[in-house]
Amino acid sequence: MDPTHSFNVKNMLDTHLKAFQHLVGAFVALQTPMEHWPPLAQDLDNQYVAVGNEPFLTSYEGQYVNYVVPTLLNLQQSLAKANLAGSVKLVVPCNADAYEANLPSQGAFRPELTDIMTQLVSFLNTNGSPFVVNIYPFLSLYGSSDFPQDYASFEGTTHPVTDGNNVYTNAFDGNFDTLVAALTKIGYSQMPIVIGEVGWPTDGAFNANLSAARAFNQGLINHVLSNRGTPLRPGVPPMDVYLFSLLDEGAKSVLPGNFERHWGIFSFDGQAKYALNLGWGSKLLKNARNVQYLPSRWCVADPTKDLSNVANHFRLACSEADCTTLNYGGWCNGIGAKGNISYAFNSIYQLRMQNSQSCDFDGIRLVTFLNPSVGECRFLVGVTDMSFAKFRACSNRLIYLVLILWGLRFLGVY
């Protein structure tokens, strides 16, 4: 079953930052007739195409700044030639570090970005596109020991921020209005704003857990659906909000932190991590049905063997499989040295579809049919190729759509 069927899907496709230099001068092929697009493309409503993602991050040291507007202009020209300019909107998702202030009303874009932001917002306004921003109160909490935990969520706070006559009780509203103020300073006070990414991880850091993630995401949903808006935009909630993310990403870079692999509201096997009401009456998230799991068996360290020389095996297993939950703040932190070894062995064993050779480790392991999970630390059982095939089918159609839209195959971007 197509997961997008019968839903009013607004899809945001992405062009990689590394494609910028090619797209500045290349004509982008967008002339495939609609009847030849895959079924998924025909069902999409009001598509956004993201030109990169967070190209103005301070960590990029300005390397993409000069490519953003020329790329937008070139792609917009291609959309017009394909008669898609009215239905497909180009956007540039920005990180919240593109603007700054001590108080929301003082919001301004970083000085070195003022000119490029003025050009960007002018383009967006002219072409009917919204300003897309990614807001992560969790990262503010993670990055500062002084950041009030209750201010990061929507459950009320003992640390409100007073800004003139306005009082902010959550970081999301404060961040959003800082952007509103920044847009106002360059002459676009009414610019529509879309939240391109917002969410809360469930593992990999001290404040990343199921209860905190549910509280934040449910609070966010309730806040947006209430139509209360923010102090600087009362009664005007964000135009669209994209929760990040659908599933955990076990191979994602953990350079920002181990939590990066645990943003999903569903686990890898399509099971809802926690109850979440998206505003469809009393309906909550539903688990994926008919998931085909591998046999209930686990690869663990043999307690009768000498494990003193296991470091290389452990490192090898965790270089391929995801072991981030074993680190400080993780659900499985604290299960002991033997528990850590067993978790690593089992993770690679399941990832490799329980291949017998993946549970070797020079004989210091064994396969058990007794679930070795400890408390809330869950030792996983993988899913079959058939279950993955259903996901790949949908993913392949999305990739195919991207290729049709952008004609990037010849650029070697994908």
Q: How many other β-carbons are positioned within 10 Å of the β-carbon of residue 174?
A: 24
Q: Provide φ and ψ at 167, rounded to 5°.
A: -125, 125
DSSP 279-325: SSTT----PPSS--BPPS-EEEE-TTS--TT-HHHHHHHHHHS--GG
379: left (phi over 0), alpha (psi -120 to 50) or beta: beta
DSSP state at residue 28: P
Task: Name the nearest CA neighbour of 59 among 131, 146, 123, 143.
Answer: 143
Would you please indicate which residues are annotated as catalytic (active-site) residues? 54, 197
CA distances from 26 to 4, 16, 64, 73, 253 (A): 32, 15, 17, 11, 30
Q: Using CA atoms, how far apart are residues 246 and 37, in angstroms rounded to an integer?
A: 25
- HSE, side-chain direction, 13 A CA sphere, residue 327: 14
Cα–Cα distance, 407 to 30 (Å, whole number): 7
Q: What residue has token string 């409503």?
A: 45
CA–CA distance, 405 with 413 (Å, rounded to integer): 14
Taking the CA atoms of the chain, what radius of gyration do you get in angstroms? 23
